[in-house]
Amino acid sequence: MTLPEAVVVLEQAALSYPSPEGEVPVLNGIDLQVRAGEILAVTGPSGSGKSSLIAIMGGLEQVTGGRAFVKGTDLGKAGEAERTRLRRDFIGVVFQAYHLVPAMTALENVALPLVLARAPDAHERAASMLEAMGLRHRKGHRPAALSGGEQQRVAIARAFVSRPRLILADEPTGNLDQKTGESIISAMFEMARASGTALVLVTHDASLAEACDRRIEIEAGRIRRDSGMLVAQKDRGALHAGLSARAN
Ligand code: ADP
Ligand code: MG
């Protein structure tokens, strides 16, 4: 069986932040491939590097060691313009805090990525995306007039509207109650499945992680487990054997 194309490839990826005391290492020796259509949960304690992992996959931070490829583009070698284009055309992001533009209506927020990309049918596509997210009657509302769950639905519609191949969602239900969170996640899963979009989902919710195709656990900047399999970083052969066994 051939594997679906890899949308993200990290090879010994490392990230450190400068500080007055010197470089602070945050991610180390990350080897990871995310395949087209795969729904991957990222779990791990607070401060372990989950958001940093999302940031390197999204080209928001550049690796300080190893390599990061998205859609075959080496993010370490790509210039700012190329990374911006990749983010716009290929990647959608969803954050815990929604990050909508307060002065814009739901429709305008969702249309924004398409307007920036000069798509002629921006508002029509945004409207049908909002309808798919169950917000037909909220198109003209500004974020302040929407509930947290509705705001996150708008943010998800905005993330999917440009038909990205990769969605990066960093604790998207972190500010929502359990029931609202679950309905939002199922809408997001449905959308990802329908469009064959890869989804990387950072979550603290064990049952949510369980519902994903695959789980990785980050601890102190390293992948400690991959789908329940204990991954000793020094024993990378075992990881690759496990992955190819699963692929067959
Ligand atoms: P998580 O999302 O798992 O809680 P993060 O990726 O946000 O973890 O952070 C991992 C570590 O990197 C933390 O120790 C955090 O303080 C540090 N860190 C994150 N962003 C920065 C930054 N911009 N500058 C310096 N240190 C940072
Ligand atoms: Mg985080």
Give the pLDDT score at 227: 85
Query: What is the number of the ligand closest to the CA of 24?
Result: 1
How far is 134 from 191, CA to CA, in rounded Å? 12
End-to-end CA distance of the chain: 6
Give the pLDDT score at 237: 44
CA of 144 relative to ligand 2 center, distance in Å: 24
**Are the CB atoms for 218 and 203 separated by under 8 Å?**
no
Looking at the CA of residue 53, tell me the nearest atom of ligand 1: 6
**Are the CB atoms for 23 and 16 separated by under 8 Å?**
yes
Question: In testing the pocket of ligand 1, which one of 26, 48, 60, 63 has its CB within 8 Å of the most ligand atoms?
Answer: 26
Instruction: Tell me the pTM.
Output: 0.89
Tokens 């990749």: give the residue: 86
How many other C-beta atoms are found inside a 10 Å radius of the C-beta of residue 179? 9
Query: What is the number of the ligand closest to the CA of 15?
Result: 1
The total number of residues shown for the chain amounts to: 248
What residues does each domain of the chain span?
6-247
How far is 35 from 58, CA to CA, in rounded Å? 15
CA of 211 relative to ligand 1 center, distance in Å: 26
CA–CA distance from 222 to each of 27, 32, 108, 133, 212 (Å)? 6, 11, 39, 35, 20
As a whole number, mean pLDDT of residues 83-109 equals 94
> Tokens for 105?
């209506």
* pLDDT class of 1 with cuts at 50, 70, 90: low
CA of 28 relative to ligand 2 center, distance in Å: 16
Give the pLDDT score at 235: 43
> Tokens for 3?
């594997």
Query: Does the C-beta of 26 come closer than 6 Å to ligand 1?
Result: yes
As a whole number, mean pLDDT of residues 214-231 equals 83
Query: Does the C-beta of 48 come closer than 6 Å to ligand 1?
Result: yes
Per cent of the chain over pLDDT 90 is 81
**Widest CA span in the chain:** 54
CA of 52 relative to ligand 2 center, distance in Å: 7
Q: What is the CATH number of domain 6-247?
A: 3.40.50.300
- Write down the mean pLDDT value for the chain: 90
Per residue, the 3-state secondary structure of 131-186, as one string, reads HHCCCHHHCCCCHHHCCHHHHHHHHHHHHHCCCCCEEEEECCCCCCCHHHHHHHHH
| pLDDT tens-place string over residues 184-221 | 999 999 999 999 999 999 999 988 999 999 999 999 99
| pLDDT tens-place string over residues 21-54 | 999 999 999 999 999 999 999 999 999 999 999 9
